[in-house]
Amino acid sequence: MSPRASAAPPKPPFVARKALPKKPKRVARDVALEYIRRLEETYPDAQCSLDYRNPYELLVATILSAQCTDVRVNMVTPELFARFPNAAALADAEPKDLENRIKSTGFFRNKTKSLLGMARAVVDTHRGEIPRTMDELTHLPGVGRKTANVVLGNAFGQNEGIVVDTHVTRVSFRLGLTRETDAVKIEHDLVKIVPREKWTLFSHLLIFHGRSICIARRPLCESCPLWDLCPSSLVIPVK
Ligand code: SF4
């Protein structure tokens, strides 16, 4: 996941800022589009980091990824999918057995309830097939808008919304794309700026950027391809 050479590497003269601004300035749409262009150039392989082969596997992996890293989920799912290859098999799982298999992803009791509830509803209401609409997906137990967006965008290729996770929340705030902190309100701001055909890709770009450069503790602005446009940049060009 190492980023390619940035589109606009910072070169002196610039001045360094000590701390991130509390309320970064909102940027105009043309700046946002330039962000996307540069991020696409920097992360040409940006995609979903969860391993899956079909919508069922992605839905299960996404439920498991709550409060857990994708790397950890990817360690658990191969055996899980071998034992429970579809919703019908998962619906018949013994809760204790399932808990033990997913224990290392954390919150395993709640996740077991969600997985069993989801699988049973898929079998009872959708003949064992993962549904393809936001409304149907979010009616499944344990499936919220974020999880539904992941499945629709990645497994079905439908840009129904933008996935807002912790990286998207932090990076979009720093970039001046939103001033909101609530995921639904952030998504509302982002869909107004980002072209619809890029909604799914856009969250992968921000997630890749948030993991490698715009990290939570201290962003690496001096290595950032957006340093000269970002209102939070710790390196500021001298005019
Ligand atoms: S790393 Fe880039 S996006 Fe993040 S605050 Fe610094 S300049 Fe902005």
pLDDT digits (tens, 9 = 90+) for 11-69: 656 778 888 999 999 999 999 999 999 999 999 999 999 999 999 999 999 999 999 99
The residues pairing with 15 across neighbouring beta strands, listed in sequence order, are 236
> Which CATH number describes the domain made up of 55-155?
1.10.340.30
Contacts of 182 (CB under 8 A, 6+ apart): none
Q: Residues 190, 177: contact at Cβ < 8 Å?
A: yes
Cα gap 23→232, rounded to integer Å: 9
Residues with CB under 6 A from ligand 1: 174-175, 213-214, 219-221, 224, 226-227, 230, 232-234
Confidence (pLDDT) at 11 = 62
Q: How confident is the model at residue 85 (pLDDT cuts 50, 70, 90)?
A: very high
Atom number in ligand 1 closest to CA 230: 8
Q: How confident is the model at residue 3 (pLDDT cuts 50, 70, 90)?
A: low
CATH 1.10.1670.10 residue window(s) in the chain: 14-47+161-237
CATH 1.10.340.30 residue window(s) in the chain: 55-155
Give me ligand 1 centre to Cα 159, in Å.
26
Residues 205-225 have pLDDT tens digits of 999 999 999 999 999 998 999
Confidence (pLDDT) at 162 = 96
At the topology level of CATH, where does 14-47+161-237 sit? Endonuclease Iii, domain 2 (1.10.1670)
Evaluate if residue 5 carries a pLDDT over 90: no
